[in-house]
Amino acid sequence: LEVDKWKGKRLNLIAETVAGGSEWKTRTRLSDEMSDEDLVYREEYRPQFHFSPRRGWTNDPNGLVYYKGIYHLFFQHNPYGTSWGNMTWGHAVSNDLLHWTEKPDAVIPDKNGVIFSGSAVVDWKNTSGLQKKPVKDKSGNIENPPLVAFYTSTGANRGKGPSAQSMVYSLDEGNTWFKYPRNPVIPHIIGGNRDPKVFWYEEKKNTNGNQGKWIMALYMDKEDYALFSSGNLIRWEKICDIKDMGCSECPDMFELPVDGDKDNTRWVFWGGNGKYLIGTFDGITFKKEGGPFDAKHGGNDYAAQTYSDIPASDGRRIMFSWMSGGQYPGMPFNQQFTVPRNLTLRETPQGIRLVIEPVKELESLRVSNPVTLSVKLKGNEIPVNIPDLKGELLDIEFLFNLKNSESRDTSKTINIEIFGQTISYRKNINTIEMEGIRAPLTPVDGKIKIRLITDRTSVEMFANDGSVQIAKCFVNSRKSPASVVISGNQDLESFEATVYNLRSVWKR
């Protein structure tokens, strides 16, 4: 527990329930350093470029907001153990989405309960009035706007109270966070309502001087969500229901151009398991045009959230997701996030669909001089090994040229084996599968593209430029050298591979 904020004060530690033989008194100490700090980021199963907390458990990414060149990443955090519990908002910052500096926990439990998931925004116009001393530049823009975050308080009254939506704010660029004194801002409504996602909606037409408003997407109960609006981030009213999502929890909502055309946009409404709707939104009502569709197909991928306040000059919709269910034997931390991803909308033969690809910053970790391979197959080759691979941190790009055949033999597959994980493509039914996780994948001009990103305990697959993505955690014994094997050549004419080694983001 970081106690810097209480320096000079008396701190009382109270053990409410103590098991027989507990050593809590003798093991408690005050120190200028975290225990075993010299081992942090050097552990055997520490992800080397996927975010994981220094210590403790993490799950959902929270409060993703960009401000003054800094990406803020908050996350569900148990600071005191490697299993779920004591939910708190951890905090880390980065200027490139890859190299993270972990800061003290930002939001800790209080009388309203523990701290569940939520989001954050920059209140550029100080609509909340929380910045009492706004400083304006020559253009009238506020130079020191408050950062405001929303989260679900749950288990008030020592775990007996219902969930409600609360608010914190920062007046020093996200370093220090204060609880809003009249929390919660939205009392309990129904069921397990939680996970507020807040964003600014700019009016397309300026009517009666109103240029925009705040919108909150909130999970309600079962498979139902709702939208709320506010002019000041404090007083909220319900404006719209969104029902039958096919999932629960962790909503997100954002507008994207279709195929990059800013005059042709759609809104995406997103749920916890990666189901999403495509539709239109006029500031009052979300009208569904299609879905729910699957952006994810199972595996270790849940509770994704996108960044707010990415500058228009960048224009990307950047997302992190929790790689749920991973195993990290004997480690002082538990769970990790995916690589950061960029989301776009693409017109496909099936309609408008979401496309998910790694952000371009990931390429900055590539080591020069990649291994390349180009193989023409005649149908009788033994499995092909990609030679001269080193290490576990890999970024691999494949291009498979398929044979023009109408075979219905379901046993024919194209297989990629990497660190004991198998990816299989079945041409006859146009599906790709990774360790039991299956998704549809249709060739484009007789070709399929597959990109694999591997870390010590995970592999992420992006197929056909992000039309399919699957994330998988695994425990790699690391007792054998890196190897990638291509087999099952019956439906394969030729293939090309480019393999980059990646650098660790931690100082070694």
Q: Which of 478, 418, 502 is nearest to 98 (CA)?
A: 502
Q: Which of 242, 278, 277 is nearest to 258 (CA)?
A: 278
The answer, yes or no, to whether the previous bond of 251 is cis (omega within 30 of 0) is no
What SS3 class is residue 108? coil
Is position 60 annotated as part of the catalytic site? yes
Q: Which residue has the tokens 């920062």?
A: 170
Contacts of 6 (CB under 8 A, 6+ apart): none
Residue of 4, 36, 38, 60 marked catalytic: 60
Cβ 417 vs Cβ 425: under 8 Å:
no
**Partners of 38 in the β-ladder:** none
Question: Can you tell me the distance from the alpha carbon of 193 to that of 288, in angstroms, rounded to the nearest whole number?
Answer: 22
Q: Where are the beta strands (DSSP E) in 237-300?
A: 237-242, 252-258, 261-270, 275-281, 286-294
Give the H/E segment covering residue 117: strand 113-122
The answer, yes or no, to whether the previous bond of 292 is cis (omega within 30 of 0) is yes
70-78 and 336-337 as β-strands: parallel, antiparallel, unpaired?
Answer: unpaired
Question: Can you tell me the distance from the alpha carbon of 364 to that of 503, in angstroms, rounded to the nearest whole number?
Answer: 9
**Partners of 169 in the β-ladder:** 148, 178
Catalytic residues: 60
